[in-house]
Structure 1
């Protein structure tokens, strides 16, 4: 096994993790502050990806495509928060699950009607094509390395906003005691709409960034949504720090598991059997990680911290 290949796979895991963080950060904010189970979060990821692909095809600009993903996802988030979600805050979680699952179906069919059933492709810009040489002669994708940097910058900006700004103070206060900040004159409805728009924009942004690696297609958000739920359970509901650490752990566990386990089983099995068993166990590894964390920390790594 080449150590250079191992480092490359570790970087792939980190890239996957920071993209998961963009999904999980919005999801944990929405659930932590608003107490809402939002199954439609993956649909907002899809909306961002399709908006980016459409704008990139029309203008040829990757930057405009990213801006479009933020605007389209945030607008869709505001729309569904005002029209649907606002009526669910005081309802049972089962009602929230049913309503947001219905939104998944509406977004999927609406996207299929608008863009068709065939996948779209978002080309990465020329200046991010190719590879860059890292220390020790490691060749790594410029685009994937840029995703790591962008994800970490967004994480830093989100931490700054939550901890250092007035809106961040209101978000943290709303998480702890929403009735009290309402009594102090904060417009709770507006705060909830802003939080939902922020979470939606982060999800759409993640969809656009990943859209240049894989195809943009209907239903692409649901597998990522499942992983985002795993991330917030591991990190702790409502914790941005937990979402970042949980996302990196999930990204590294999934990527390195798929790389290492087939090779380990290859020592005692035929190559085809080792690949099959190793890939199956790698798919289970993140759930084993989640179970292990919950055995030690039932509220997640930073739950209630």
Structure 2
């Protein structure tokens, strides 16, 4: 593999890893802070993709579709938390698994009723449709760089929110000791609603920005869900920093594995997870 091809695969792995982080960050926050095992998290990724397709056609602008889709996703997350998830915080994990597993089928049926079962494509915005020439025969799409940039900005914003704001302090306190935080007067119910809506919003944004390069199709959320759980387990449940590092590691292993070891590429990510858990059963970073 020459330097140019190596650089292309490195960029692809970083872009994939950052996209995984967008999904896994919401998942690890919801589980680490609220204690909810949410198997339906991949459905929010699918929701974002279908919103990007329908809203971009309706509004005539991919940028507007992302903005409106993000708002709708956050509102949907708030409603879902208030009407359903808040009643399962103190229930057994088995109840949560059964609930969220059932929601996967509910969301798939709703998707089928609203958008149908066809595969759709989302047009890349004209301003981002160019490619950067690397050699006479190889180039790299500008849109993939845009995806990486958006994910990096959101990762930075999430870090600042969790680490530097009063709301972030309350979120961290709630994750560390739920009962004591509530006893000190923090509205933990509001914190839960905000965290859940944030997780839904991040997953939906990931689906929206990925739609132009991955297409929009039924059951697309289930394919990314397992990889998200792998990232959360490797990084450490509840750790946003761990999710970022684990997502980048998974991106590197998966991308270069498909290029260098295609015969066993499907198992390399799980070998990585097993190796990490063998030496650090709690993951790379504790909550």
Q: Is the 8 A contact 2:4 2:134 kept in 1?
A: no
Query: By how many angstroms is 1:80 displaced?
Result: 1.6
Cα gap change, 1:135/1:188 in structure 2, threshold over 3 Å: closer, same or farther?
farther
2:52 alignment counterpart: 52
Q: Structure 1 stretch 103-112 or stretch 78-87: which is displaced more? A: 78-87
Unaligned runs of 5+ in 2: none
Structure with higher Rg: it is 1
Q: Structure 1 stretch 193-202 or stretch 218-227: which is displaced more? A: 218-227
Query: By how many angstroms is 1:134 displaced?
Result: 5.9
Q: Is the 8 A contact 2:121 2:215 kept in 1?
A: yes
Q: Is the 8 A contact 1:28 1:239 kept in 2?
A: yes
TM-score (norm 1): 0.91
2:227 alignment counterpart: 227
Matched, 1:128 2:111: no
Q: Is the 8 A contact 1:47 1:69 kept in 2?
A: no
Q: How does 1:1-305 map to 2 (within 5 A)?
A: 1-133=1-133, 139-262=139-262, 278=263, 281-304=264-287
| Distance in 2 between residues matched to 1:160 and 1:99, nearest whole Å | 32
Q: Is the 8 A contact 2:121 2:212 kept in 1?
A: yes
Query: By how many angstroms is 1:170 displaced?
Result: 0.6
SS for the counterpart of 1:212 is helix
| Distance in 1 between residues matched to 2:134 and 2:153, nearest whole Å | 20
TM-score (norm 2): 0.97
1:257-290 CA distance string (max 9 Å, x none): 001114xxxxxxxxxxxxxxx2xx1010000000
Question: RMSD between aligned alpha carbons?
Answer: 1.5
Query: By how many angstroms is 1:135 displaced?
Result: 10
SS for the counterpart of 2:213 is coil
1:272 alignment counterpart: none
| Distance in 2 between residues matched to 1:47 and 1:227, nearest whole Å | 18
SS for the counterpart of 2:99 is helix
1:100-127 CA distance string (max 9 Å, x none): 1111111100010001110222111011
Query: By how many angstroms is 1:3 displaced?
Result: 2.6
| Distance in 2 between residues matched to 1:220 and 1:134, nearest whole Å | 32
Q: Is the 8 A contact 1:45 1:73 kept in 2?
A: no
Cα gap change, 1:135/1:195 in structure 2, threshold over 3 Å: closer, same or farther?
farther
1:117-171 CA distance string (max 9 Å, x none): 1022211101100212469997311000111111111111110110000110011
1:25-78 CA distance string (max 9 Å, x none): 000000010011001111111111111111101122111111133122212212
| Distance in 2 between residues matched to 1:64 and 1:47, nearest whole Å | 16
| Distance in 1 between residues matched to 2:284 and 2:260, nearest whole Å | 26
Unaligned runs of 5+ in 1: 263-277
| Distance in 1 between residues matched to 2:139 and 2:225, nearest whole Å | 31
